[in-house]
Chain A
Amino acid sequence: MKEALLKVENLRAGIDGKEILRGLNLTVHPGEVHAIMGPNGSGKSTFGGVLAGDPRFSVESGSATFHGTDLFGLSPEDRSHEGLFLSFQYPVEIPGVTMVNFMRAAVNAKRKYFGQEPMGAADFLKMMRQKRAIVELDNKLASRSVNEGFSGGEKKRNEIFQMAVLEPRLAILDETDSGLDIDALRIVAAGVNALKTNDNATIVITHYQRLLDYIKPDFVHILYKGQIVHSGGPELALELEEKGYDWIKQQHQS
């Protein structure tokens, strides 16, 4: 068995003093795709935010070990450098900052972290070209402002583009399917699948089974009231699709 890429133990975290994650456990190994499903308000997005270091959330107790490192001991940017990527449910607009400048700053910050020289302009533009092809974004992307004026589908494709550039070890896709039409969904999923290797892993956070038709999970977990209450294989997602979340709620309310 390979060493775990991410090991989350008994994680308790919340926002403004309100506890949302109530003792969450999850282990992810390289090469695996995990889907985290659950009803609204169960803590799915909080989990992604806490792992990435979103300052809105505070960790109360528990631990997260990311390839041997204490994840919560790292700043958000160092978590990024160490290979953690969060695809945002609502990507933020940054007016006037072009994608090319934004990604150059990101790539060169990472290179600096690993003691490497900044990437030359020509090499960088070449890489941008290759990576944007993965999510079928056109050459206007480089000069557009970060997420400004992007359609819902473009925003999500742009997230996967950034993931392709940064080549994370662990990608967390937070509701990447929300607001996507079927074509955009297909492009996004194809992008994620193309980036999959035996060394990296993906956590897909989703409300619906739909995305999992395109990104095949190895494991499906059901998050409810801040805990993973059920884990299983891909068939669990189909079961949820059929029965809805009510049976989970009933099981755990009684």
Chain B
Amino acid sequence: MNNEQHNPQTAGTRPAACPAAGNDSAVIAQATTGDYKYGFSSDIDTEIIPPGLSEDVVRLISEKKKEPQWLLDFRLEAFRYWKTLTPPTWAHLDIPTIDFQAISYYAAPVKKEGPKSLDEVDPKILDTFNRLGIPIEEQKALSGMAVDAVMDSVSVRTTHRERLAEMGIIFCSFSEAVRDYPDLVRKYLGKVVGYRDNFYAALNSAVFSDGSFVYIPKGVRCPMELSTYFRINSAGTGQFERTLIVADDDSYVSYLEGCTAPMRDENQLHAAIVEIIVEDRAEVKYSTVQNWYAGDREGRGGVYNLVTKRGLCRGTNSKLSWTQVETGSAITWKYPSCVLSGEGAVGEFYSVAVTRNRQQADTGTKMIHLASGTRSTIVSKGISTGHSQNSYRGLVRVAPKADNCRNYTQCDSLLLSDTCGAHTFPEIQVANPSAVVEHEATTSKISEQQLFYCNQRGIPTEKAVALIVNGYAREVMNKLPMEFAVEAQKLLEITLQDSVG
């Protein structure tokens, strides 16, 4: 039986339906146009190559990173393929034409030798992280979290590496992985997201600068959350990270990615790739909190976040869970996906995407059920205000030979203004009659009566909006690791409150 449940209102586009904007909308509008808290740039000596992209630039990047020939070949193939492509236009996004020749493809803080302890790290870099609320030292001491902080293109330092190494866990920058574990990198690089995948994946494959590499050996449960904080710093530079996570049989790892960028007038391009491989009975949790600069109220500036994230659950009963809280970036184009090719594999996607002012987000997931007994869950919560556009785009596909697959999709939109747009583009392709695929969707507003109820209990409107929005997102927030959840909750409040003055 093909048991598709389809809510009629979700078929195709669901435009913003907010006819009866009460006088609360003005209050909400005021409460949701705060300025960016992380807008500062650090004055650090940076080595930056001139703008432009050519084979020579690709060779230069590879040379600077002292890469082996096979990796240079990989980059060059990707570059040649990229040259034949044009940027995709199918998303519900208005992306200004990007001049890829005007971007510098390599920027690195100048350093003599790799820092061996925190004392050797440029104090300004540490200060930057501290201002972002990511005290490396504190995290190291208090939360037992291993942090691999990436500023622009080069990993600044990795903590806790020794302790992890004792368990056979590899957690290092991508460049180090290429140097120290070339066979592992070569075995997995591009296996989940090939350079032919899409325009931005090809670009990344040609010019990727750095990123993180994680390998969890068989039977090992990683004892701490692994964390990378990305931060784009240099003006006019793109950031092209590459993250590769391999969880071998019966292993477990929880990986956190936090992103911020300083305020810049020109748009900054960010085109990353995350590849995850999950073997038999292994589990990977991948959590993202993204608050890159979103541009100003008129939509000037901000980061273009054009990212390809995908996990391959090829192990029997393997599990991959994506959780994302997206509040930043001028443009978000991102679909963390799961390919469920191992029998009984489980894929999950929990997302909160906030757009305000002129932000545009087209985000969602793909759940590809290739093996029998695979299950997937999608919970997407969009929150939009101002003149922003917020789209959920999802694909659930069940292959002909995959018996007894299940998918549950819940897709909610919360509209805080009558000038924003919320859209859903769910696609369901079921080629096996035993599949059970459910899709539910809602659109809601914060009602005047909810606000008055809060006010009557003494809660001012601004706080009430934050409370209600956090309540709306709670189901997803609960999936984040504890210390991250608190941070994300505060971020939601800051994002939606008027932080001016």
Q: Given A54-B452, A95-B471, A145-B471, are A80 and B458 neighbors across the interface (CB < 8 Å)?
A: yes
Q: Which residues on B sit within 8 Å (CB–CB) of A107?
A: 458
Q: Which residues on B sit within 8 Å (CB–CB) of A146?
A: 471
Q: Is there an interface contact between A106 and B471, defined as CB atoms closer than 8 Å? A: no
CB distance from A9 to the nearest CB of B (A): 23
Who on chain B is nearest to A84 by CB?
B456
- Report A79-113 CB contacts with B as 1/0, cut-off 8 Å: 11100011010011011111001110111011001
Who on chain B is nearest to A148 by CB?
B471
Which of A76, A81, A96 makes the CB contact (< 8 A) with B452? Answer: A76
Which of B22, B447, B460, B472 makes the CB contact (< 8 A) with A96? Answer: B472
- Report B441-452 CB contacts with A as 1/0, cut-off 8 Å: 000000111101
Q: Is there an interface contact between B460 and A77, defined as CB atoms closer than 8 Å? A: yes
Q: Which residues on A sit within 8 Å (CB–CB) of B453?
A: 88, 91-92, 94
Which of B450, B460, B463 makes the CB contact (< 8 A) with A92? Answer: B450
Q: Is B23 an interface residue (CB 8 A)?
A: yes
Q: Is A223 an interface residue (CB 8 A)?
A: no
CB distance from A234 to the nearest CB of B (A): 29
Q: Which residues on B sit within 8 Å (CB–CB) of A52?
A: 456
Q: Is there an interface contact between B467 and A109, defined as CB atoms closer than 8 Å? A: no
Q: Is there an interface contact between B458 and A97, defined as CB atoms closer than 8 Å? A: no
Q: Is there an interface contact between B448 and A55, defined as CB atoms closer than 8 Å? A: yes
Q: Is there an interface contact between B467 and A102, defined as CB atoms closer than 8 Å? A: yes
The secondary-structure label for the interface of chain B is helix
How many residues of chain B are within 8 Å of chain A by beta carbon? 27
Q: Is there an interface contact between A106 and B458, defined as CB atoms closer than 8 Å? A: yes
Q: Which residues on B sit within 8 Å (CB–CB) of A46?
A: none
CB distance from B416 to the nearest CB of A (A): 15
Enumerate A115-149 residues with CB–CB distance to B below 8 Å: 145-146
Who on chain A is nearest to B446 by CB?
A94
Q: Is there an interface contact between B459 and A109, defined as CB atoms closer than 8 Å? A: yes
Q: Which residues on A sit within 8 Å (CB–CB) of B456?
A: 52-53, 76-77, 79-80, 85-86, 88
Q: Is B95 an interface residue (CB 8 A)?
A: no
Q: Is B198 an interface residue (CB 8 A)?
A: no
Q: Which residues on A sit within 8 Å (CB–CB) of B24?
A: 55
Q: Which residues on B sit within 8 Å (CB–CB) of A113?
A: 458
Q: Is there an interface contact between B447 and A92, defined as CB atoms closer than 8 Å? A: yes
Q: Is there an interface contact between A110 and B458, defined as CB atoms closer than 8 Å? A: yes
Q: Is A69 an interface residue (CB 8 A)?
A: no
Enumerate B448-491 residues with CB–CB distance to A below 8 Å: 448-450, 452-461, 463-464, 467-468, 470-475
Q: Which residues on A sit within 8 Å (CB–CB) of B460?
A: 75, 77, 109
CB distance from B18 to the nearest CB of A (A): 18
Tell me the bound Cα distance from A54 to B455 in angstroms: 9
- Report A17-46 CB contacts with B as 1/0, cut-off 8 Å: 000000000000000000000000000000
Q: Is there an interface contact between B449 and A92, defined as CB atoms closer than 8 Å? A: yes
Q: Which residues on B sit within 8 Å (CB–CB) of A95?
A: 471-472
Name, among A54, A105, A110, the residue most crowded by chain B CB atoms within 10 Å (CB to CB).
Answer: A105
Q: Is A243 an interface residue (CB 8 A)?
A: no
Tell me the bound Cα distance from A73 to B374 in angstroms: 61
Q: Is there an interface contact between B459 and A106, defined as CB atoms closer than 8 Å? A: yes
Q: Is A2 an interface residue (CB 8 A)?
A: no
Q: Is there an interface contact between A106 and B457, defined as CB atoms closer than 8 Å? A: yes
CB distance from A22 to the nearest CB of B (A): 24
Tell me the bound Cα distance from A112 to B297 in angstroms: 31
Who on chain A is nearest to B22 by CB?
A55
With contacts defined as CB atoms under 8 Å apart, how many contacts are there between chain A and chain B in the complex? 88
Q: Is there an interface contact between B448 and A166, defined as CB atoms closer than 8 Å? A: no
CB distance from B236 to the nearest CB of A (A): 41
Tell me the bound Cα distance from A56 to B452 in angstroms: 10
Tell me the bound Cα distance from A54 to B447 in angstroms: 13
Tell me the bound Cα distance from A105 to B467 in angstroms: 9
How many residues of chain A are within 8 Å of chain B by beta carbon? 34
Q: Is there an interface contact between B450 and A105, defined as CB atoms closer than 8 Å? A: no
Q: Given A102-B467, A105-B463, are A94 and B450 neighbors across the interface (CB < 8 Å)?
A: yes
CB distance from B453 to the nearest CB of A (A): 4
Q: Is A162 an interface residue (CB 8 A)?
A: yes
Q: Is there an interface contact between B467 and A75, defined as CB atoms closer than 8 Å? A: no
Q: Which residues on B sit within 8 Å (CB–CB) of A86?
A: 456
Q: Given A55-B23, A92-B449, A109-B463, are A80 and B455 neighbors across the interface (CB < 8 Å)?
A: yes
Who on chain B is nearest to A95 by CB?
B471
- Report A137-175 CB contacts with B as 1/0, cut-off 8 Å: 000000001100000000000000010001000000000
Q: Given A76-B452, A101-B467, A105-B467, are A96 and B457 neighbors across the interface (CB < 8 Å)?
A: no
Who on chain A is nearest to B457 by CB?
A106
Q: Which residues on A sit within 8 Å (CB–CB) of B23?
A: 55
Tell me the bound Cα distance from A189 to B460 in angstroms: 30
- Report B1-19 CB contacts with A as 1/0, cut-off 8 Å: 0000000000000000000
Who on chain A is nearest to B478 by CB?
A96
Q: Is there an interface contact between B472 and A102, defined as CB atoms closer than 8 Å? A: no
Tell me the bound Cα distance from A75 to B463 in angstroms: 15
Q: Is there an interface contact between A96 and B458, defined as CB atoms closer than 8 Å? A: no
Tell me the bound Cα distance from A92 to B457 in angstroms: 12
Q: Which residues on B sit within 8 Å (CB–CB) of A98?
A: 471
Q: Given A55-B448, A96-B473, A97-B467, are A102 and B458 neighbors across the interface (CB < 8 Å)?
A: no
Q: Which residues on A sit within 8 Å (CB–CB) of B473?
A: 96
Who on chain B is nearest to A54 by CB?
B452
Q: Is there an interface contact between A77 and B459, defined as CB atoms closer than 8 Å? A: yes
Q: Is there an interface contact between A76 and B455, defined as CB atoms closer than 8 Å? A: yes
Name, among B449, B458, B471, the residue most crowded by chain A CB atoms within 10 Å (CB to CB).
Answer: B458
Q: Which residues on A sit within 8 Å (CB–CB) of B458?
A: 77, 80-81, 106-107, 109-110, 113, 166
CB distance from B361 to the nearest CB of A (A): 21
Q: Is there an interface contact between A55 and B471, defined as CB atoms closer than 8 Å? A: no
Tell me the bound Cα distance from A76 to B457 in angstroms: 9
CB distance from B383 to the nearest CB of A (A): 12
Q: Is there an interface contact between B472 and A162, defined as CB atoms closer than 8 Å? A: no
CB distance from B280 to the nearest CB of A (A): 36
Tell me the bound Cα distance from A94 to B24 in angstroms: 16
Q: Is there an interface contact between B455 and A75, defined as CB atoms closer than 8 Å? A: yes
CB distance from A132 to the nearest CB of B (A): 16
Between-chain CB contacts (< 8 Å), 25 pairs? A55-B23, A76-B456, A77-B460, A79-B456, A80-B455, A80-B458, A85-B456, A91-B453, A92-B449, A92-B452, A92-B453, A94-B468, A94-B471, A96-B473, A96-B474, A97-B468, A97-B470, A97-B471, A98-B471, A101-B470, A102-B457, A103-B457, A109-B463, A110-B458, A166-B457
Query: A97-B471, A107-B458 given. 16 additional CB < 8 A pairs?
Result: A52-B456, A76-B452, A77-B459, A77-B461, A85-B456, A94-B453, A94-B471, A96-B472, A101-B470, A102-B454, A102-B457, A102-B467, A103-B457, A105-B454, A106-B458, A166-B457
9 closest cross-chain pairs (CB), A and B: A96-B471, A97-B471, A76-B455, A80-B458, A96-B474, A92-B453, A106-B457, A109-B458, A110-B458
